[in-house]
Structure 1
Amino acid sequence: MLSNGELILRLILAAVLGSVIGFERERQSWAAGLRTHMLVCVSAALVMIVSAFGFADVLGRPNVVLDPSRIAAQVVSGIGFLGAGAILLRGEVIRGLTTAASVWSVAAIGLAVGAGLNTAAIAATIIILAILAGMKAIERRYIAVRLRRRVVLRVDRGALTLDSLRAVLGRGSERVKHFVVQQSEEAPECDDVVIGFARLPADEFAKACDLLRHAPGVRALREETESVDNGESAENGGNGGN
Protein backbone atom coordinates (compact mmCIF):
# COMPACT_ATOMS: atom_id res chain seq x y z
CA MET A 1 0.00 0.00 0.00
CA LEU A 2 1.23 3.52 -0.79
CA SER A 3 2.15 5.89 1.99
CA ASN A 4 0.16 9.11 2.17
CA GLY A 5 3.20 11.10 1.07
CA GLU A 6 3.78 8.94 -2.02
CA LEU A 7 0.11 9.10 -2.92
CA ILE A 8 0.06 12.91 -2.73
CA LEU A 9 3.30 13.19 -4.72
CA ARG A 10 1.87 11.09 -7.52
CA LEU A 11 -1.24 13.22 -7.73
CA ILE A 12 0.82 16.43 -7.73
CA LEU A 13 3.11 15.07 -10.44
CA ALA A 14 0.05 14.18 -12.53
CA ALA A 15 -1.27 17.73 -12.11
CA VAL A 16 2.07 19.22 -13.17
CA LEU A 17 2.45 17.00 -16.23
CA GLY A 18 -1.17 17.61 -17.23
CA SER A 19 -0.68 21.36 -16.91
CA VAL A 20 2.30 21.25 -19.28
CA ILE A 21 0.14 19.77 -22.04
CA GLY A 22 -2.87 21.87 -21.09
CA PHE A 23 -0.93 25.12 -21.21
CA GLU A 24 -0.09 24.54 -24.88
CA ARG A 25 -3.77 23.94 -25.67
CA GLU A 26 -4.79 26.97 -23.59
CA ARG A 27 -2.31 29.10 -25.52
CA GLN A 28 -4.13 28.14 -28.71
CA SER A 29 -7.49 29.10 -27.09
CA TRP A 30 -9.00 25.65 -27.39
CA ALA A 31 -12.02 24.51 -25.40
CA ALA A 32 -10.08 21.81 -23.56
CA GLY A 33 -7.37 23.92 -21.98
CA LEU A 34 -5.23 24.06 -18.87
CA ARG A 35 -7.77 23.06 -16.24
CA THR A 36 -9.34 20.32 -18.35
CA HIS A 37 -6.02 18.61 -19.00
CA MET A 38 -4.96 18.90 -15.36
CA LEU A 39 -8.25 17.43 -14.16
CA VAL A 40 -8.09 14.54 -16.61
CA CYS A 41 -4.49 13.73 -15.70
CA VAL A 42 -5.03 13.88 -11.92
CA SER A 43 -8.27 11.91 -12.15
CA ALA A 44 -6.65 9.21 -14.28
CA ALA A 45 -3.80 8.96 -11.78
CA LEU A 46 -6.26 8.62 -8.92
CA VAL A 47 -8.23 5.95 -10.78
CA MET A 48 -5.03 4.01 -11.35
CA ILE A 49 -4.07 4.30 -7.69
CA VAL A 50 -7.51 3.11 -6.62
CA SER A 51 -7.36 0.28 -9.15
CA ALA A 52 -3.93 -0.88 -7.98
CA PHE A 53 -4.10 -0.25 -4.23
CA GLY A 54 -7.70 0.52 -3.30
CA PHE A 55 -8.71 -3.08 -2.69
CA ALA A 56 -5.76 -4.21 -0.58
CA ASP A 57 -8.01 -4.84 2.42
CA VAL A 58 -9.91 -7.61 0.64
CA LEU A 59 -6.89 -9.41 -0.78
CA GLY A 60 -6.31 -12.83 0.64
CA ARG A 61 -9.97 -13.53 1.24
CA PRO A 62 -11.43 -16.66 -0.35
CA ASN A 63 -12.55 -16.33 -3.95
CA VAL A 64 -11.20 -12.77 -4.24
CA VAL A 65 -9.04 -12.06 -7.27
CA LEU A 66 -7.68 -8.56 -7.95
CA ASP A 67 -7.06 -7.34 -11.51
CA PRO A 68 -5.58 -3.81 -11.28
CA SER A 69 -5.97 -3.28 -15.03
CA ARG A 70 -9.76 -3.50 -15.14
CA ILE A 71 -10.59 -0.02 -13.84
CA ALA A 72 -7.72 1.54 -15.76
CA ALA A 73 -9.02 -0.04 -18.97
CA GLN A 74 -12.31 1.80 -18.51
CA VAL A 75 -10.43 5.11 -18.45
CA VAL A 76 -8.84 4.36 -21.82
CA SER A 77 -12.22 3.78 -23.46
CA GLY A 78 -14.28 6.20 -21.39
CA ILE A 79 -12.08 9.26 -21.92
CA GLY A 80 -13.11 9.15 -25.57
CA PHE A 81 -16.48 10.63 -24.64
CA LEU A 82 -14.77 13.69 -23.18
CA GLY A 83 -12.51 14.01 -26.21
CA ALA A 84 -15.51 13.82 -28.54
CA GLY A 85 -16.80 17.01 -26.95
CA ALA A 86 -13.75 18.87 -28.27
CA ILE A 87 -14.38 17.81 -31.87
CA LEU A 88 -16.47 20.10 -34.05
CA LEU A 89 -17.71 19.66 -37.60
CA ARG A 90 -18.03 22.90 -39.54
CA GLY A 91 -19.15 22.33 -43.09
CA GLU A 92 -16.64 19.83 -44.46
CA VAL A 93 -13.93 20.78 -41.99
CA ILE A 94 -13.34 18.78 -38.83
CA ARG A 95 -11.79 20.73 -35.99
CA GLY A 96 -10.56 19.65 -32.58
CA LEU A 97 -9.05 16.25 -33.28
CA THR A 98 -5.65 17.27 -31.90
CA THR A 99 -7.19 18.59 -28.70
CA ALA A 100 -9.24 15.40 -28.30
CA ALA A 101 -6.06 13.37 -28.78
CA SER A 102 -4.21 15.48 -26.21
CA VAL A 103 -6.96 14.87 -23.64
CA TRP A 104 -6.69 11.13 -24.27
CA SER A 105 -2.89 11.41 -23.98
CA VAL A 106 -2.92 13.12 -20.59
CA ALA A 107 -5.25 10.37 -19.35
CA ALA A 108 -2.56 7.86 -20.31
CA ILE A 109 0.05 10.01 -18.55
CA GLY A 110 -2.11 10.07 -15.44
CA LEU A 111 -2.44 6.29 -15.50
CA ALA A 112 1.34 5.98 -15.77
CA VAL A 113 1.88 8.31 -12.81
CA GLY A 114 -0.73 6.47 -10.78
CA ALA A 115 1.06 3.19 -11.50
CA GLY A 116 4.37 4.69 -10.37
CA LEU A 117 5.92 4.81 -13.85
CA ASN A 118 7.20 8.34 -13.36
CA THR A 119 10.00 8.17 -15.92
CA ALA A 120 7.62 6.96 -18.62
CA ALA A 121 5.09 9.65 -17.69
CA ILE A 122 7.66 12.48 -17.81
CA ALA A 123 9.16 11.21 -21.07
CA ALA A 124 5.70 10.93 -22.64
CA THR A 125 4.87 14.48 -21.53
CA ILE A 126 8.01 15.84 -23.19
CA ILE A 127 7.35 13.91 -26.39
CA ILE A 128 3.68 14.95 -26.55
CA LEU A 129 4.56 18.59 -25.89
CA ALA A 130 7.16 18.45 -28.67
CA ILE A 131 4.52 17.05 -31.02
CA LEU A 132 1.93 19.70 -30.13
CA ALA A 133 4.22 22.71 -30.08
CA GLY A 134 7.17 21.74 -32.26
CA MET A 135 5.52 19.83 -35.08
CA LYS A 136 2.95 22.57 -35.66
CA ALA A 137 5.56 24.84 -37.20
CA ILE A 138 6.76 22.04 -39.48
CA GLU A 139 3.18 21.22 -40.44
CA ARG A 140 2.48 24.84 -41.30
CA ARG A 141 5.66 25.12 -43.34
CA TYR A 142 5.63 21.89 -45.33
CA ILE A 143 2.33 20.03 -44.97
CA ALA A 144 -0.77 22.03 -44.17
CA VAL A 145 -0.52 24.86 -46.67
CA ARG A 146 -3.66 25.18 -48.75
CA LEU A 147 -5.67 27.80 -50.57
CA ARG A 148 -8.60 29.63 -49.04
CA ARG A 149 -11.04 30.88 -51.63
CA ARG A 150 -13.83 33.35 -51.08
CA VAL A 151 -15.87 35.93 -52.95
CA VAL A 152 -17.08 39.34 -51.84
CA LEU A 153 -20.34 40.42 -53.43
CA ARG A 154 -22.28 43.65 -53.49
CA VAL A 155 -25.96 42.88 -53.97
CA ASP A 156 -29.29 44.63 -53.75
CA ARG A 157 -30.67 44.68 -50.22
CA GLY A 158 -32.07 41.26 -49.37
CA ALA A 159 -31.38 39.84 -52.83
CA LEU A 160 -29.08 37.07 -51.63
CA THR A 161 -30.07 34.82 -48.77
CA LEU A 162 -28.87 31.38 -47.75
CA ASP A 163 -31.81 29.78 -49.57
CA SER A 164 -31.23 31.76 -52.76
CA LEU A 165 -27.51 30.94 -52.54
CA ARG A 166 -28.35 27.24 -52.49
CA ALA A 167 -30.61 27.75 -55.50
CA VAL A 168 -27.86 29.54 -57.43
CA LEU A 169 -24.98 27.17 -56.61
CA GLY A 170 -26.90 23.93 -56.47
CA ARG A 171 -24.69 21.13 -55.15
CA GLY A 172 -21.80 23.60 -55.04
CA SER A 173 -23.42 25.14 -51.97
CA GLU A 174 -22.17 22.12 -50.00
CA ARG A 175 -18.69 23.63 -50.29
CA VAL A 176 -19.69 26.89 -48.60
CA LYS A 177 -17.79 27.26 -45.33
CA HIS A 178 -19.16 30.61 -44.21
CA PHE A 179 -21.80 33.04 -45.44
CA VAL A 180 -21.87 36.57 -44.01
CA VAL A 181 -24.32 39.33 -44.99
CA GLN A 182 -24.04 42.88 -43.72
CA GLN A 183 -25.27 46.30 -44.80
CA SER A 184 -22.86 48.05 -47.13
CA GLU A 185 -21.30 51.19 -45.69
CA GLU A 186 -20.56 52.60 -49.14
CA ALA A 187 -23.99 51.87 -50.62
CA PRO A 188 -26.71 51.82 -47.92
CA GLU A 189 -29.24 50.33 -50.35
CA CYS A 190 -27.00 47.28 -50.84
CA ASP A 191 -25.63 44.36 -48.85
CA ASP A 192 -22.02 43.23 -48.77
CA VAL A 193 -21.88 39.43 -48.82
CA VAL A 194 -18.81 37.33 -48.05
CA ILE A 195 -18.89 33.69 -49.10
CA GLY A 196 -16.03 31.38 -48.15
CA PHE A 197 -15.47 27.96 -49.70
CA ALA A 198 -13.79 24.93 -48.16
CA ARG A 199 -11.36 22.90 -50.26
CA LEU A 200 -12.76 24.03 -53.58
CA PRO A 201 -10.69 23.24 -56.70
CA ALA A 202 -9.86 26.16 -59.00
CA ASP A 203 -12.21 25.07 -61.79
CA GLU A 204 -15.16 24.63 -59.44
CA PHE A 205 -14.38 27.98 -57.81
CA ALA A 206 -14.40 29.69 -61.22
CA LYS A 207 -17.73 28.04 -62.03
CA ALA A 208 -19.22 29.16 -58.70
CA CYS A 209 -18.03 32.73 -59.29
CA ASP A 210 -19.62 32.75 -62.75
CA LEU A 211 -22.93 31.55 -61.32
CA LEU A 212 -22.85 34.16 -58.56
CA ARG A 213 -21.87 36.93 -60.97
CA HIS A 214 -25.07 36.34 -62.94
CA ALA A 215 -27.31 35.82 -59.93
CA PRO A 216 -30.27 38.23 -59.55
CA GLY A 217 -29.40 41.39 -57.67
CA VAL A 218 -25.61 41.01 -57.85
CA ARG A 219 -23.92 44.30 -58.75
CA ALA A 220 -20.26 43.42 -58.23
CA LEU A 221 -18.12 40.43 -57.38
CA ARG A 222 -14.53 40.24 -56.17
CA GLU A 223 -12.58 36.98 -55.96
CA GLU A 224 -10.06 36.41 -53.17
CA THR A 225 -7.58 33.55 -52.97
CA GLU A 226 -4.83 33.32 -50.37
CA SER A 227 -2.48 30.73 -48.94
CA VAL A 228 -3.20 29.79 -45.35
CA ASP A 229 -2.11 26.99 -43.06
CA ASN A 230 -4.59 24.34 -42.14
CA GLY A 231 -3.84 24.82 -38.44
CA GLU A 232 -6.25 22.76 -36.36
CA SER A 233 -8.93 22.54 -39.00
CA ALA A 234 -8.13 19.01 -40.06
CA GLU A 235 -7.59 18.00 -36.45
CA ASN A 236 -8.39 21.31 -34.90
CA GLY A 237 -10.89 23.11 -35.17
CA GLY A 238 -10.81 24.82 -32.27
CA ASN A 239 -12.54 27.47 -30.97
CA GLY A 240 -12.05 28.70 -34.22
CA GLY A 241 -8.73 27.15 -34.43
CA ASN A 242 -6.64 23.41 -33.37
Structure 2
Amino acid sequence: MIARLAVAALCGSIVGLERERLLWAAGLRTHMLVCTGSCLIMLVSAFGFADALGAHNVVLDPSRIAAQVVSGIGFLGAGTILLKGEVVKGLTTAASLWAVAAVGLAVGAGLYVPAVAATTIVVAILAGVKPFEERWRDRMRGHGLRVTVRRGALSVDTLHGLLGGYASRIRQFVLAPDEDPDREVATVLFSRLPPAALQTIERTLREAPDVISVEPLDG
Protein backbone atom coordinates (compact mmCIF):
# COMPACT_ATOMS: atom_id res chain seq x y z
CA MET A 1 0.00 0.00 0.00
CA ILE A 2 2.85 2.37 0.80
CA ALA A 3 4.41 1.58 -2.56
CA ARG A 4 1.15 2.43 -4.32
CA LEU A 5 0.92 5.77 -2.50
CA ALA A 6 4.53 6.54 -3.47
CA VAL A 7 3.91 5.69 -7.13
CA ALA A 8 0.79 7.86 -7.11
CA ALA A 9 2.75 10.79 -5.67
CA LEU A 10 5.41 10.30 -8.34
CA CYS A 11 2.88 10.21 -11.18
CA GLY A 12 1.15 13.32 -9.83
CA SER A 13 4.47 15.14 -9.54
CA ILE A 14 5.33 14.48 -13.18
CA VAL A 15 2.11 16.11 -14.34
CA GLY A 16 2.39 18.84 -11.70
CA LEU A 17 5.88 19.81 -12.85
CA GLU A 18 4.56 20.60 -16.30
CA ARG A 19 1.87 22.87 -14.82
CA GLU A 20 4.41 24.40 -12.41
CA ARG A 21 6.58 25.32 -15.39
CA LEU A 22 3.77 27.58 -16.63
CA LEU A 23 3.28 29.09 -13.13
CA TRP A 24 -0.28 27.88 -12.67
CA ALA A 25 -1.79 27.98 -9.18
CA ALA A 26 -2.43 24.24 -9.33
CA GLY A 27 1.14 23.06 -9.75
CA LEU A 28 3.45 20.42 -8.34
CA ARG A 29 2.08 20.02 -4.81
CA THR A 30 -1.57 20.23 -5.85
CA HIS A 31 -1.24 17.47 -8.43
CA MET A 32 0.77 15.28 -6.04
CA LEU A 33 -1.85 15.69 -3.32
CA VAL A 34 -4.75 14.94 -5.66
CA CYS A 35 -3.09 11.82 -7.06
CA THR A 36 -1.99 10.54 -3.64
CA GLY A 37 -5.36 11.28 -2.08
CA SER A 38 -7.19 9.49 -4.88
CA CYS A 39 -4.89 6.52 -4.43
CA LEU A 40 -5.63 6.40 -0.70
CA ILE A 41 -9.36 6.60 -1.34
CA MET A 42 -9.06 3.67 -3.72
CA LEU A 43 -7.09 1.71 -1.11
CA VAL A 44 -9.73 2.41 1.52
CA SER A 45 -12.45 1.40 -0.92
CA ALA A 46 -10.68 -1.85 -1.82
CA PHE A 47 -9.23 -2.93 1.54
CA GLY A 48 -10.81 -0.80 4.24
CA PHE A 49 -13.89 -2.94 4.83
CA ALA A 50 -12.27 -6.34 5.27
CA ASP A 51 -13.70 -6.71 8.79
CA ALA A 52 -17.23 -5.86 7.68
CA LEU A 53 -17.06 -8.30 4.79
CA GLY A 54 -16.55 -11.10 7.26
CA ALA A 55 -20.00 -10.55 8.75
CA HIS A 56 -22.98 -12.63 7.69
CA ASN A 57 -25.00 -11.33 4.68
CA VAL A 58 -22.77 -8.25 4.20
CA VAL A 59 -22.02 -7.36 0.57
CA LEU A 60 -20.05 -4.23 -0.30
CA ASP A 61 -19.25 -2.60 -3.62
CA PRO A 62 -15.61 -1.40 -3.46
CA SER A 63 -16.15 0.95 -6.41
CA ARG A 64 -18.72 3.19 -4.68
CA ILE A 65 -16.28 5.30 -2.66
CA ALA A 66 -13.84 5.60 -5.57
CA ALA A 67 -16.65 6.70 -7.87
CA GLN A 68 -17.17 9.82 -5.76
CA VAL A 69 -13.66 11.01 -6.58
CA VAL A 70 -14.58 11.48 -10.23
CA SER A 71 -17.32 13.97 -9.36
CA GLY A 72 -15.83 15.32 -6.14
CA ILE A 73 -12.59 16.48 -7.74
CA GLY A 74 -14.62 19.06 -9.66
CA PHE A 75 -14.43 21.62 -6.84
CA LEU A 76 -10.64 21.78 -7.19
CA GLY A 77 -10.90 22.06 -10.96
CA ALA A 78 -13.40 24.90 -10.62
CA GLY A 79 -10.90 26.77 -8.45
CA THR A 80 -8.35 26.81 -11.27
CA ILE A 81 -10.72 28.20 -13.91
CA LEU A 82 -10.67 31.98 -14.35
CA LEU A 83 -12.61 34.30 -16.62
CA LYS A 84 -10.50 37.17 -17.96
CA GLY A 85 -12.64 39.39 -20.12
CA GLU A 86 -14.05 37.06 -22.74
CA VAL A 87 -11.31 34.44 -22.35
CA VAL A 88 -11.61 31.41 -20.07
CA LYS A 89 -8.32 30.34 -18.48
CA GLY A 90 -7.49 27.21 -16.52
CA LEU A 91 -9.59 24.58 -18.24
CA THR A 92 -6.51 22.54 -19.14
CA THR A 93 -5.22 22.61 -15.57
CA ALA A 94 -8.66 21.58 -14.30
CA ALA A 95 -8.62 18.68 -16.74
CA SER A 96 -5.12 17.66 -15.62
CA LEU A 97 -6.30 17.57 -11.99
CA TRP A 98 -9.18 15.35 -13.01
CA ALA A 99 -6.77 13.13 -14.95
CA VAL A 100 -4.30 12.71 -12.07
CA ALA A 101 -7.23 11.79 -9.82
CA ALA A 102 -7.97 8.96 -12.23
CA VAL A 103 -4.28 8.00 -12.23
CA GLY A 104 -4.35 7.87 -8.44
CA LEU A 105 -7.36 5.57 -8.49
CA ALA A 106 -5.61 3.29 -10.98
CA VAL A 107 -2.46 3.09 -8.83
CA GLY A 108 -4.58 2.43 -5.74
CA ALA A 109 -6.23 -0.46 -7.56
CA GLY A 110 -2.82 -1.89 -8.46
CA LEU A 111 -3.04 -1.02 -12.15
CA TYR A 112 0.52 0.28 -12.40
CA VAL A 113 1.01 -0.08 -16.14
CA PRO A 114 -2.19 1.82 -17.11
CA ALA A 115 -1.38 4.46 -14.50
CA VAL A 116 2.14 5.05 -15.80
CA ALA A 117 0.92 4.96 -19.40
CA ALA A 118 -1.82 7.49 -18.61
CA THR A 119 0.70 9.77 -16.88
CA THR A 120 2.97 9.65 -19.93
CA ILE A 121 0.08 10.43 -22.26
CA VAL A 122 -1.16 13.31 -20.07
CA VAL A 123 2.29 14.91 -19.94
CA ALA A 124 2.70 14.42 -23.68
CA ILE A 125 -0.64 16.16 -24.26
CA LEU A 126 0.16 19.06 -21.92
CA ALA A 127 3.70 19.69 -23.12
CA GLY A 128 3.80 18.26 -26.64
CA VAL A 129 0.48 19.37 -28.11
CA LYS A 130 0.59 22.95 -26.76
CA PRO A 131 2.91 24.34 -29.51
CA PHE A 132 0.63 22.96 -32.22
CA GLU A 133 -2.44 24.30 -30.41
CA GLU A 134 -0.91 27.79 -30.14
CA ARG A 135 0.12 27.73 -33.78
CA TRP A 136 -3.40 26.73 -34.85
CA ARG A 137 -5.02 29.40 -32.66
CA ASP A 138 -2.70 32.04 -34.05
CA ARG A 139 -3.58 30.90 -37.53
CA MET A 140 -7.33 31.00 -36.94
CA ARG A 141 -7.79 33.87 -34.51
CA GLY A 142 -9.60 37.04 -35.51
CA HIS A 143 -7.76 39.92 -37.15
CA GLY A 144 -8.64 43.50 -37.89
CA LEU A 145 -7.57 46.27 -40.25
CA ARG A 146 -7.84 50.04 -40.06
CA VAL A 147 -8.32 51.36 -43.57
CA THR A 148 -8.11 55.07 -44.36
CA VAL A 149 -9.89 56.00 -47.60
CA ARG A 150 -11.14 59.04 -49.47
CA ARG A 151 -14.53 60.18 -48.28
CA GLY A 152 -17.40 58.23 -49.83
CA ALA A 153 -15.09 55.78 -51.59
CA LEU A 154 -15.66 52.70 -49.41
CA SER A 155 -18.84 50.82 -48.55
CA VAL A 156 -19.73 47.24 -47.69
CA ASP A 157 -20.49 46.44 -51.32
CA THR A 158 -17.23 48.03 -52.47
CA LEU A 159 -15.28 46.10 -49.86
CA HIS A 160 -16.92 42.83 -50.91
CA GLY A 161 -15.98 43.54 -54.49
CA LEU A 162 -12.33 44.17 -53.55
CA LEU A 163 -11.94 41.12 -51.31
CA GLY A 164 -13.78 38.55 -53.41
CA GLY A 165 -13.82 35.20 -51.60
CA TYR A 166 -12.38 36.67 -48.42
CA ALA A 167 -15.50 38.83 -48.00
CA SER A 168 -17.24 35.93 -46.26
CA ARG A 169 -14.72 36.27 -43.39
CA ILE A 170 -15.79 39.84 -42.56
CA ARG A 171 -17.28 39.91 -39.07
CA GLN A 172 -17.67 43.65 -38.59
CA PHE A 173 -17.40 46.77 -40.74
CA VAL A 174 -17.47 50.24 -39.16
CA LEU A 175 -17.00 53.45 -41.13
CA ALA A 176 -16.23 56.67 -39.25
CA PRO A 177 -15.13 60.20 -40.26
CA ASP A 178 -11.46 61.10 -40.01
CA GLU A 179 -9.93 64.32 -38.69
CA ASP A 180 -9.40 65.25 -42.31
CA PRO A 181 -12.89 66.02 -43.74
CA ASP A 182 -11.87 64.50 -47.06
CA ARG A 183 -11.09 61.12 -45.48
CA GLU A 184 -12.88 58.29 -43.69
CA VAL A 185 -11.54 55.48 -41.50
CA ALA A 186 -12.97 51.98 -41.85
CA THR A 187 -12.47 49.35 -39.17
CA VAL A 188 -12.80 45.86 -40.62
CA LEU A 189 -12.74 42.77 -38.40
CA PHE A 190 -12.24 39.28 -39.82
CA SER A 191 -12.93 35.93 -38.17
CA ARG A 192 -10.88 32.72 -38.56
CA LEU A 193 -8.40 34.27 -40.93
CA PRO A 194 -4.87 32.88 -41.38
CA PRO A 195 -2.00 35.44 -41.31
CA ALA A 196 -1.14 34.74 -44.96
CA ALA A 197 -4.70 35.57 -46.01
CA LEU A 198 -4.58 38.80 -44.00
CA GLN A 199 -1.40 39.83 -45.83
CA THR A 200 -3.14 39.16 -49.15
CA ILE A 201 -6.09 41.32 -48.08
CA GLU A 202 -3.77 44.14 -46.98
CA ARG A 203 -1.96 44.06 -50.30
CA THR A 204 -5.24 44.08 -52.23
CA LEU A 205 -6.59 47.05 -50.30
CA ARG A 206 -3.37 49.05 -50.66
CA GLU A 207 -3.56 48.63 -54.42
CA ALA A 208 -7.07 50.10 -54.51
CA PRO A 209 -6.99 53.67 -55.96
CA ASP A 210 -9.02 55.33 -53.19
CA VAL A 211 -7.25 53.66 -50.26
CA ILE A 212 -4.75 55.94 -48.51
CA SER A 213 -3.39 53.58 -45.85
CA VAL A 214 -3.98 50.13 -44.34
CA GLU A 215 -2.86 49.28 -40.80
CA PRO A 216 -3.38 46.09 -38.75
CA LEU A 217 -5.34 46.69 -35.55
CA ASP A 218 -3.20 44.25 -33.58
CA GLY A 219 0.11 45.32 -35.01
Q: Could you state the TM-score of these two structures normalised by the residue count of structure 2? A: 0.67
Q: How far apart, in 1, do the equivalents of 2:29 and 2:218 lie?
A: 38
Matching residue's letter, 1:119: V
| C-alpha distance in 2 between matches for 1:71 and 1:150 | 56
Q: Distance in 1 between matches of 2:69 and 2:145?
A: 43
Instruction: Provide the residue aligned with 2:73 in structure 1.
Output: 79
Runs of 4+ residues deviating >2 angstroms: 141-151, 201-204
| One-letter amino acid of the counterpart of residue 225, structure 1 | D
Count the aligned residue pairs: 161
Task: Answer yes or no: is the 8 Å Cα contact 1:147–1:225 preserved in 2.
Answer: no
Secondary structure of the residue that 2:64 maps to in structure 1?
helix
Q: Mark the structure with the bigger radius of gyration.
A: 2
The reply on whether 1:27 has 2:21 as its aligned counterpart is yes
Q: Percent identity?
A: 61
Q: Which has the higher contact order (CA 8 A, sep 6+)?
A: 1
Distance 1:225 1:210 in 2: 19
- Spell out, residue by residue over 1:104-134, the C-alpha distance to the aligned partner (whole angstroms, 9 max, x if none): 0000000000000000000000001000000
From 116, 119, 140, the equivalent of 2:110 is 116
Q: Give the Cα–Cα distance (whole angstroms) in 1 for the partners of residues 116 and 138 of structure 2.
A: 29
| AA aligned opposite 2:70 | V
Distance 1:102 1:80 in 2: 11
C-alpha distance in 2 between matches for 1:15 and 1:149: 47
Structure with greater helix share of residues: 2
Q: CA offsets, 1:127-184, max 9 Å, x none? A: 0100000000111223454247799xxxxxxxxxxxxxxxxxxxxxxxxxxxxxxxxx
Within 5 A, what are the aligned runs for 1:142-221?
A: 142-145=136-139, 146-147=141-142, 204=172, 207=174, 210=176
Q: Distance in 2 between matches of 1:144 and 1:103?
A: 27
**Structure 2, gaps ≥5 residues long:** 147-168, 180-214
CA RMSD across the alignment: 2.5
Q: Residue 110 of structure 1 contacts residue 121 of structure 1 at CA under 8 Å; is this kept in 2? A: yes
Name which of 124, 127, 132 aligns with 2:121: 127
